[in-house]
Amino acid sequence: METDAKRTPGKKLLKEPLEVVLSLILVAIVSVTFIQVLFRYIFHLSLAWSEELARYLFLWLGALASAYAFKTKSHFALTFLVNRLGGRLKGWASSFVVFVVSGFLLLFIWKSMEFSIGMAGQIAPSTKISMAVPYSSAWVGGILMLYYVLRNWRSDRHVKREEESSSREKWD
């Protein structure tokens, strides 16, 4: 298996596409905002599309950054009650939380898709793109959040099973 030191930059980019997209969106927001400030205060011209584009990029940044937080388990969690539970009960509580979060995300994805489809006919005034493009950030982010919630849950359960089997082997 390759270590991080041996991995080429191209392979690392392919392995972490969410991080690459987030970085590109952030650079785009900063660039568009800088161009807007430059034109407004230096050239005394106003660009009609720059503020709108920055707003839409910010929607995408927020949705994808939320998914990234699920990927890295960075969201705030109240665990003081769950930590007081025993091993097996703690696993059930964790699974219940994943079930509730997954249900919410499925509902969120469904409703945000409905909204995006409903907005497909509306055109943005400055950029002339369909409003479905910025609003689709919600359901794309929701799908990624659901993926990472389920992936982390599966990974945590796998690690827990390995720990249980290694502790049993130690006592045998």
**8 A C-beta contact, residue 142 and residue 108:** yes
Query: For residue 32, is pLDDT > 70?
Result: yes
Q: Which two tokens stand for residue 45?
A: 């011209």
Would you state the pLDDT for residue 117? 96
Q: Which has more pLDDT, 157 or 133?
A: 133
Query: Are 140 and 114 contacting, i.e. CB atoms less than 8 angstroms apart?
Result: no
pLDDT by residue (tens digit) across 60-76?
999 999 999 999 988 88
Question: Quick one: pLDDT at residue 67?
Answer: 96
